[in-house]
A and B are shown apart, each in its own frame.
Chain A
């Protein structure tokens, strides 16, 4: 028998309106010294399984049937005191290192507390053990860092502390729920390497829950693909991801942006929605298409931005933060220009300055021929019409109190106040059709739509003014990979048909490779390298670009 064996597990949530079956007939097992990847899109039940093993199901979740056998213990049996084993035999790593540590306790105190709860050892030994653990997870100078508070650690270091906490009582099994999702790629690769090392050093069984196929293909020994609470496929990553037998897995794998080459479109299998490329785009009738000359549309010259906490009747308490330093680049008409960098690299700040949401501290931004910092009144309105933005978070980018038709009609009305109601209605329908949404969506509210659909609404709103430049700030990072593929295809199609210029901002290198013609790599607010996409990925010149590319998890099934 394997170390942990799950058989016919069923979990459901009884809500007011209906019974939601979150997990259905799931059976799999984990051996010691094995990393098992649980992969699936949102709503696939992967986290629910992880929580069920720990006995941490949220109300009103309930295990309806099946067993979770940890050696001779059935964790699914309500009579079993799972809390006695949680932390001791089963360790847990959460997604967000910002919130999984107590901010008012030092890291050392938190480790000591956990160790002494589970092991009967005196304070001196516990302290020794805690420092050893910090050492093991790669915290440099563990003895002095022992008395530091969580905020004194960086995100990656904090996640290492969380892992040390999970290891306190020498568990046999570790459950890692999206352990690297909140981290930058270079830190992600370190944490993944750490998990692999711990697995072999301590002969741990690891259940790695993630949505990221590349992470799974890099470190998992076996993978379980879940969809809607059921197992679709199970086996070695090479077999399941390299040569999937099920349609769903095929579709999932084909949606992952390849890291080694550029493809024209993501193949979307069994998609019931026709793509915009096959249709006559009705909005084209309204579009004044101009031939893209390849001349520069946006020129950014020695742009800098610093943020200070000084204000009226308040003296600056901290040094101003230099978010962007001396950045220069140009975006040519009709191209996709990518801004790539890790968190804090200033990429979103640059985007906000280009769309004139915030003013630069110094430097110039030219759009067409105008210096945008000097625009006012009617010229500012004309500028606003030509440049629109799609945001990262589909849940906060639409006003929840407005119907879809009003959200999309608002920019139309504002920029063409002479249009009649009939005309606006038709235009809204055409825009909805252009982003593959049903015309019946117009009378609904945003909460009735999924993340991907909301992102389509966001794109329709951005297109309503017929912009020349579309600024996309991480437009797919909150979406599942199959939805991401659809949205990226949509953006590509629209760019082709409408002659849009796109400024694409992302931390996700494979996505940038698929979307962009030219790319600027940013680090700490400064540009490291600007290059054509192919050149950057095949032969990066700057050391930081090389570092980024090396840390990027490769999806090579």
Chain B
């Protein structure tokens, strides 16, 4: 029997997962990077040296300032400025926040939607399961970018242009979320089929517990591990999808730019020598997605019951 441990802190400290975490340089470094990115972008009002979205603070005189180590650059604008004289470093911090919010919300939406459908499909089986899982198959044949473009197009047609800028972020979350749900439904269904046949579920049924309690109190906590793993990797994908859509111009409006919007803005100047405008947002995006993926890989290795 394992040593008795009391508080939740002790239990985490003593757990094998935590042990594996502090002994994995990949996990440590990637989560350090992620924590720094999360903190700086969520508190960007305090961290950012400039406020890039107040037009009165901008000066066209500063436009196209290169990064500070390049000739003509200065340390006021670390990574230089864009065509309107906005500080790129500050814009990236603000943009990362938008990207993260959209990514998190989209993945949360698809996890909830997918797990709900997958869990019920696996639990009830029969005709319901067949229909849900075939729907998931159909959904998977539509590329997520196409799906998002389609939803964005429909919404644009339905509401006015001013209103659209306000709801654009929600449309984006919905569009990305809806195209990611099938993989969560599949994993949740598979795990549910395994758990459903275990004796503790039979015991719960013999006690007479209603299906809802069996599904959400007994099965759900036991299938969360694989969901967490693909959710983490899905988060990186969702952030990339957001950037892609914003780059294509159907994402968040340029007034509140995300990383993808910044890359698009810089793209126009790429060949006229102002490389930094799209380089730094791209670099940030790569670092962000890469760290999340590394953390996801570590989780998959550690939480996989087959390996341990």
A-side residues, CB < 8 A to B, are 16-17, 311-313, 352, 355-357, 380-381, 384-385, 387-389, 391-393, 396-401, 410-411, 414-415, 444, 447-450, 458, 461-462, 465
Interface string of B1-40 (1 = CB under 8 A from A): 1111000000000001001000000000000000000000
B209 on the interface (CB 8 Å rule)?
yes
SS class, residues of chain B in contact with chain A:
helix
Q: When the two chains form the complex, which single residue of B16, B200, B207 contacts A411, counting CB atoms closer than 8 Å? A: B207
- Give Cα A393 to B126, complex, Å: 27
Cβ contact within 8 Å between A392 and B207: no
What is the chain B residue whose CB lies nearest that of A406?
B217
Chain B residues within an 8 Å CB radius of A414: 207-209
Which among A312, A388, A396, A401 is the interface contact of B206 at CB below 8 angstroms? A388
> A312: which of B2, B130, B204, B205 is its contact (CB, 8 Å)?
B130
Q: List 25 A-B contacts (CB under 8 A).
A: A16-B16, A16-B19, A312-B127, A312-B130, A355-B206, A356-B206, A357-B205, A357-B206, A385-B208, A389-B203, A389-B206, A396-B198, A396-B199, A399-B218, A399-B222, A400-B222, A401-B222, A410-B204, A410-B207, A411-B207, A414-B207, A414-B209, A415-B207, A458-B203, A465-B207
Within 8 A of A (CB), among B207-263: 207-209, 218, 221-222
| B191–chain A nearest beta-carbon distance, Å | 14
Q: A397 contacts which chain B residues (CB < 8 A)?
A: 198-200, 202-203
Q: Which 3 A-B pairs have the closest CB atoms?
A: A384-B208, A397-B199, A391-B199
> Are the C-beta atoms of A450 and B130 separated by less than 8 Å?
no
The residue on B at minimum CB distance from A401 is: B221
- Decide: B200 and A449 in contact? CB cutoff 8 A: no
Q: How far is the CB of B272 from chain A (nearest CB, A)?
A: 58
Please pick, from A311, A415, A462, the residue contacting B126 in the complex, using a CB distance under 8 A: A311
Which residues 110-146 of B have a CB within 8 angstroms of A? 126-127, 130
Instruction: Closest B residue to A382 by CB, please name it.
Output: B208
Which residue of B has the minimal Cβ distance to A446? B200
Measured CB to CB, the residues of B under 8 A from A are 1-4, 16, 19, 126-127, 130, 198-200, 202-209, 218, 221-222
* Assembled-state Cα–Cα distance A414/B127 (Å): 30
Give the chain B neighbours of A352 by CB distance below 8 A.
202
Q: How far is the CA of A313 from the CA of B198 in the complex (A)?
A: 27
Distance (Å) between the CB of B196 and the closest chain A CB?
A: 11
In the complex, chain A residues whose CB is within 8 Å of the CB of B205 = 357
Q: How close is A372's CB to chain B, nearest CB, in angstroms?
A: 12
Most buried by A among B3, B126, B206: B206
Q: How far is the CA of A494 from the CA of B200 in the complex (A)?
A: 22
Q: In angstroms, how far is the closest chain A Cβ from the Cβ of B41?
A: 34
- A313 → chain B closest CB, angstroms: 6
Query: In the bound complex, do residue A449 and residue B203 qualify as a contact, i.e. CB atoms below 8 Å apart?
Result: no
Chain A residues, CB < 8 A from B204: 399, 410
User: Contacts A381-B208, A401-B221, A448-B2 known; A391 to B203 CB distance under 8 Å?
Assistant: yes
Query: Of all chain B residues, which has the CB nearest A16?
Result: B19
Q: Which of B2, B16, B202, B222 contacts A389 (CB 8 A)?
A: B202
How many angstroms between the C-alpha atoms of A397 and B209 in the bound complex?
15
Chain A residue, CB-CB nearest to B219: A399
Closest A-chain residue to B198, C-beta based? A396
A-chain residues with CB within 8 Å of residue B126 when the two chains form the complex: 311-312
Closest to B2 in A: A448
Establish whether residues B203 and A311, one from each chain, have CB atoms under 8 Å apart when the complex forms: no
Question: Which chain B residues border A311 with CB–CB below 8 Å?
Answer: 126, 130
Q: How far is the CB of A443 from chain B (nearest CB, A)?
A: 9
Query: What is the minimal beta-carbon distance from A503 to any residue of chain B, in angstroms?
Result: 13
Contacts of B130 in A (CB 8 A): 311-313
A393-B207 in contact given A17-B3, A450-B1 (Cβ < 8 Å): no
Query: Within the complex, what minimum Cβ distance (angstroms) separates B57 from chain A?
Result: 52
> Contacts A311-B130, A397-B200, A401-B222 hold; do A447 and B206 have CB atoms under 8 A apart?
no
- Do B200 and A396 touch (CB < 8 A)? yes
Q: How far is the CA of A46 from the CA of B206 in the complex (A)?
A: 38
